[in-house]
Amino acid sequence: RFLAAFCGRREAVVEAARQLLSDEQAPRRQRLLADLIHNLNENALAEEKEDDEQWFEGLESRFKNKSSYMRYSCESRIRSYMKEVSSFISNVHPTARDAYKRIIDLMSDKLKSVKYNGCYFDRREEEAVRLCTTEGWFSCQGPFDRADCPCKHSINPYGNRESRILFSTWNLDHIIEKKRAVVPELAEAVKTRDGREVNWEYFYQLLFTVDNLKLVHIACHKKTNHNLSCDKTKIYRKRKQNHKIS
């Protein structure tokens, strides 16, 4: 009831907080009041540019609504992972580079077909595929070695421009690490396949999907070695006629 009454009188609370802030000298109280004003001034439900022009400041004019930009933001992250996988080809054994390149092409085609999983950040998508609520709230999923976030971090980048910018510091963290584990294991699998077919779809899932990605606040993003490796039983599969890697 307290929260409902509080939100129900939002404008009055904001005005009162602004008056207090104008005379407040203590840094801690200033921060509390500023955060209160910031959160209550969110216009999260607005979607179109004409309804919240401030949110779009600094963005390219081609973005006409919030969800389209958030989808683009997610696509950009996934594209960057694909670039890292592609650039690793120089480290692949020369005899295996052609096969590695064919796997990259298969992954690229798959990503294009699902529009680079931009659905993860798009609040208009179905609940099963997005990582946020219909209002646009994202919750930190916690460090790679925990089941949840101990600090209960949350953010709504749809709310205001500052939250949109801050959300860029949140990470889509690979549980089984991309650079230390997944990509080197893929390169090794292609090199030592010895007539077997590399299960590229398993690596695709580890690199580009929430099967192996956690959305985490920057404070929950542990950059230490995760000491996790790929499942050896899933690296190869019985050879199929389609998508044959030879």
**What does the pLDDT look like over 9-32, one tens digit per residue?**
767 777 787 777 687 787 877 777
In-domain check, residue 55: no
In-domain check, residue 117: yes
- Structure pTM? 0.85
**Nearest residue to 65 via CA among 73, 53, 77, 74:** 53
- pLDDT (mean) for 190-200: 94
pLDDT for residue 217? 98
| Residue 101 sits in the same domain as residue 197 | yes
| Residue 2 sits in the same domain as residue 75 | no
| 221 — pLDDT class (breaks 50, 70, 90) | very high
| Residue 199 sits in the same domain as residue 113 | yes
Which residue range is the domain that position 201 belongs to? 66-220
- pLDDT (mean) for 153-163: 95
More confidently predicted of 5 and 138: 138
| Residue 101 sits in the same domain as residue 35 | no
Query: Would you give the DSSP letter of residue 241?
Result: S
CA 72, 74, 77: angle at the middle one, nearest 5?
110
Q: Identify the weakest region by mean pLDDT among 6-10, 25-29, 61-65, 228-232.
A: 6-10
Cα 70 versus chain centre, distance? 10
Whether pLDDT at 189 is above 60: yes
pLDDT for residue 99? 96
| Residue 117 sits in the same domain as residue 192 | yes
In-domain check, residue 154: yes
Whether pLDDT at 133 is above 70: yes
**Distance from C-alpha of 42 to C-alpha of 25, rounded to nearest angstrom:** 25
pLDDT for residue 86? 98
Q: Identify the weakest region by mean pLDDT among 12-21, 120-129, 161-170.
A: 12-21
At residue 65, what is the residue type? N
| 245 — pLDDT class (breaks 50, 70, 90) | low
In-domain check, residue 196: yes
Given a contact cutoff of 8 angstroms between Cβ atoms, the answer to whether 136 and 156 are in contact is: yes
In-domain check, residue 120: yes
pLDDT for residue 6? 62
In-domain check, residue 246: no
* Cβ count near 84 (within 10 Å): 12
**Distance from C-alpha of 23 to C-alpha of 12, rounded to nearest angstrom:** 18
In-domain check, residue 234: no
| Residue 202 sits in the same domain as residue 94 | yes
| Residue 87 sits in the same domain as residue 120 | yes
| Residue 179 sits in the same domain as residue 70 | yes
